[in-house]
Amino acid sequence: QSALTQPRSVSGSPGQSVTISCTGTSDDVGGYHYVSWFQQHPGRAPKLIIYDVNKRPSGVPDRFSGSKSGNTASLTISGLQAEDESDYYCCSYAGGYTRLFGGGTKLTVL
């Protein structure tokens, strides 16, 4: 049960787009349509921003989008804003009623 693989950091300028990848295996990311993404600001609880690969909860801006290809899921943030600077985590169902998180990615808005 190794953590899903995410880049440790990504960066972009305001208005640009950034994509964060989340790589697993056919036993988790590739095997199910149950990938979620969370945003976590320092000192705060994680906030769900994408679920079931590409669905947005109510209230999450459509600048946030998700996709999946094979064993890799991706989170794309378009029209970067200063408040998007945060840590981002992916999470996948991994069979046997278990879940698996990625190691997290720190997004810096330049």
Partner 1 sequence: EEQLVESGGGLVQPGGSLRLSCAASGFTFSHYWMSWVRQAPGKGLEWMGVITPDGTETYYVDSVKGRFTISRDNAKNSLYLQVNTLRAEDTALYYCARDAGWVLNYWGQGVLVTVSS
Nearer Cβ to partner 1 (13/97): 97
Span 60-89, contacts to partner 1 by CB under 8 A = 89
- Binding footprint of partner 1, residue count (CB under 8 A): 26
Minimum distance from residue 27 beta carbon to partner 1 (Å):
14
Minimum distance from residue 13 beta carbon to partner 1 (Å):
26
Minimum distance from residue 48 beta carbon to partner 1 (Å):
5
Closest CA to 9 of 108, 101, 103: 108
- Cα gap 45→66, rounded to integer Å: 21
The reply on whether position 31 binds partner 1 by CB under 8 A is: no
The reply on whether position 42 binds partner 1 by CB under 8 A is: no
The reply on whether position 27 binds partner 1 by CB under 8 A is: no
Closest CA to 73 of 26, 21, 36: 21
Give the SS3 label for residue 38.
strand
Residues in contact with partner 1 by the rule CB under 8 A: 1, 3, 32, 34, 36, 38, 40, 45-48, 51-52, 57, 89, 91, 93, 96-104
